[in-house]
Amino acid sequence: MIKTSSFEPTKRFRPTHIQTIYPTYVSRPSNIKRDRERFELLDGDFVDLDWAGQQYTNSSNPRIVLILHGLCGSSSSNYVLGLQQQLLDQGIASVAMNFRGCSGEPNRLLRAYHSGETSDMNEVFFALAERYPAASFASVGYSLGANAMLKWHGEMGPNSPLVAAVAVSSPYDLSLSTNRMNRGISVLYQRHLVQGLIHYVECKLAHYRKQQDWENYKKLRALGSLVSTKTFVEFDGLVTAPLFGYDSAEHYYEKCSSLPFLAQIKTPTLLIHALDDPFVHAEAIPTAAHLAADTVLELSEFGGHVGFVNGTFRKPNFWLDTRISDYLVERL
């Protein structure tokens, strides 16, 4: 089902790029304290989990939300901290999973993360489900994390034990949305994010050099120089595709876009999206035919990319955090 969102920004917050940029750099009010857990993966690597409200997991019927950040983000991204605070206020525990190498420390293996990599979140979730057998679980993903989360739910289908999911500003069709980033001001966003990805690779190279792990160092170096890389297609062709066994960037986009997986999702799911999203091609937005019976797409005219803020610049109201929290409270 597709419905019109209740989000309506004030006049000053209507511009697409204010919606996209402002929440990235302005922190939500928060006094949140978190506990970090290093989760050892079966392949010998690790991801770091940041818990908020872990004390609530000791109740007889705990409620736990798994949160997945976006490209070049982390568990410390403002949108993650804002949601964790909102959930904490409702007595709900949450765990923000940092994708490999995103927690402030390079991961051990050559393997990284991408828009369709679902094995790590699958491993983390089922370990947590075994640890907390009485818990009700939900998941929330933003941007890249939203695409990966939706793909994961589609892969799990009727076997999913989660009671709810929320995806914010997913790219849905990676090829179309990558092409969208080559137009207008979106080019600047793309260059900024690609520079972040290049920095991610450089940090891994420095880590391997320091550890004298020359085997992985040479393999990463062999992918080629990233000096002139400015687009996602260039980066994904040089790095993502060969590291994960895809023939090309387009092959990766074809296999990892969440759009073909939406119809297989059996978990009640809320999709939050803005028509003015500068990261996502309009043709990538799902139609009713793409959606499973228990999936609702809330579309708004404004909201940018992972924005959805209103109020005033001095007293902003982060509508997105409230909307996600309200949806989850109803279902957990």
**Domain definitions of the chain by residue range:** 2-173+265-331, 174-256
5 is catalytic: no
Q: Which of 120, 236, 277, 321 is catalytic?
A: 277
Those residues whose C-beta lies under 8 Å from the C-beta of residue 143, and which sit 6 or more positions away, are: 70, 71, 73, 168, 169, 170, 171, 279, 305, 306
Chain segment 184-218, per-residue pLDDT in tens: 888 998 999 999 999 999 999 999 998 899 998 99
What is the reported pLDDT for 155?
95
| Domain at 2-173+265-331, CATH class | alpha beta
What are the φ/ψ torsions at residue 296 (nearest 5 degrees)? -120, 125
- pLDDT at residue 29 above 80? no
Distance CA 276, CA 15 (A): 9
Contact status, residue 322 vs residue 296, Cβ threshold 8 Å: no
Sign of CA dihedral 320, 148, 201, 208: positive
Q: Which of 143, 170, 257, 258 is catalytic?
A: 143
Chain segment 64-123, per-residue pLDDT in tens: 999 999 999 999 999 999 999 999 999 999 999 999 999 999 999 998 899 999 999 999
Q: Is 316 exposed, middle or buried (0-12, 13-18, 19+ CB in 10 A)?
A: middle
What is the reported pLDDT for 313?
86
- pLDDT at residue 54 above 90? no
What are the φ/ψ torsions at residue 130 (nearest 5 degrees)? -70, -35
143 is catalytic: yes
C-alpha distances out from residue 24 to 20, 73, 180, 234, 305, Å: 7, 10, 21, 26, 10
- pLDDT at residue 327 above 90? yes
Distance CA 64, CA 90 (A): 12
Contact status, residue 296 vs residue 324, Cβ threshold 8 Å: no
Contact status, residue 87 vs residue 51, Cβ threshold 8 Å: no
170 is catalytic: no
- pLDDT at residue 30 above 90? no
What is the reported pLDDT for 310?
92
Q: Which of 153, 281, 305, 325 is catalytic?
A: 305
Rounded average pLDDT over 142-146: 97
